[in-house]
């Protein structure tokens, strides 16, 4: 099934403007992990990757001395492909961790529900990825922190967590999410971006 752009935009809009209503609707969604990835996660995850690739190769990074440093296309492309794959892998691994540790938090969690929670919470982070198009305003990506709020709102709906356990469960999920993403991004930086920027600075 091809992703429906209008459906994606409507869901993203509802999550941003009416998160409580959106999560109740998401809870009723049927499907599987494959459909969730193909119809929502994979199209939206392309936004920061594609915009970042265009930004550092076409517009470049402006240095304090006035020079503009542009990344070599093929190195940046390889880094972008890894970054894209690792975004999706982070969700997959974190969802498995949620399911694995669910009994310790006394919550109900299956892989599809955990993945839905993470994928839809990622919506703001993917949308603000458009700012990567212009490296000079990439700092506006901080607006993506709204994803944390979406996660907190979505947890009791999708995983039926009591209010007394919400804070610690949300904190555990966010920490796991960040740590997995950090490790995978470190691999990308070490293999691709680190050497690429070193070569660029040496020129």
The predicted structure's pLDDT at residue 47? 95
* Residues 160, 18, 143, 56, Cα dihedral to 10°: 100
The predicted structure's pLDDT at residue 108? 81
The predicted structure's pLDDT at residue 103? 87
Q: Where are the domains of the chain?
A: 5-202
Mean pLDDT by 10 residues, the chain (203 residues): 80 94 94 94 95 87 71 90 95 95 85 96 92 73 85 92 86 93 92 81 68
- CA-wise closest residue to 37 among 45, 28, 29: 45
The predicted structure's pLDDT at residue 203? 64
The predicted structure's pLDDT at residue 72? 85
The reported pTM is 0.88
The predicted structure's pLDDT at residue 2? 58
SS (H, E, C) the chain: CCCCHHHHHHHHHHHHHCHHHHHHHHHCCCCCHHHHHHHHHHHHHHHHHHHHHHHHHHHCEECCCCCEECCCHHHHHHHHHHHHHHHHHHHHHHHHHHHHHHHHHCCCCCHHHHHHHHHHHCHHHHHHHHHHHCHHHHHHHHHHHHHHHHHHHHHHHHCCCCHHHHHHHHHHHHHHHHHHHHHHHHHHHHHHHHHHHHHHHHC
User: What's the CA angle centered on 46, arms 40 and 49, to 5 degrees?
Assistant: 150
The predicted structure's pLDDT at residue 44? 96
């Amino acid at each position: 099934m091809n992703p429906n752009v209008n459906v994606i935009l409507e869901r993203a809009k509802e999550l941003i403007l009416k998160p409580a209503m959106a999560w109740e609707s998401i809870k009723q969604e049927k499907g599987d992990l494959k459909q969730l990835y193909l119809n929502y996660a994979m199209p939206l995850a392309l936004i920061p990757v594609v915009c970042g690739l265009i930004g550092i190769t076409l517009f470049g990074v402006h240095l304090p001395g006035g020079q503009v440093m542009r990344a070599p296309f093929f190195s940046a492309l390889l880094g972008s492909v890894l970054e894209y794959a690792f975004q999706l892998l982070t969700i997959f691994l974190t969802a498995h961790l949620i399911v694995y540790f669910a009994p310790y938090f006394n919550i109900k969690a299956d892989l599809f529900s955990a993945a839905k929670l993470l994928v839809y919470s990622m919506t703001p982070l993917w949308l603000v990825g458009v700012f990567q198009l212009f490296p000079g305003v990439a700092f506006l990506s901080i607006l993506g922190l709204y994803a944390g709020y979406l996660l907190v709102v979505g947890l009791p709906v999708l995983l039926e967590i009591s209010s007394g356990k919400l804070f610690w469960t949300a904190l555990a999920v966010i920490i796991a999410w960040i740590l997995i993403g950090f490790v995978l991004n470190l691999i990308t930086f070490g293999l691709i971006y680190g050497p690429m920027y070193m070569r660029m600075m040496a020129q």
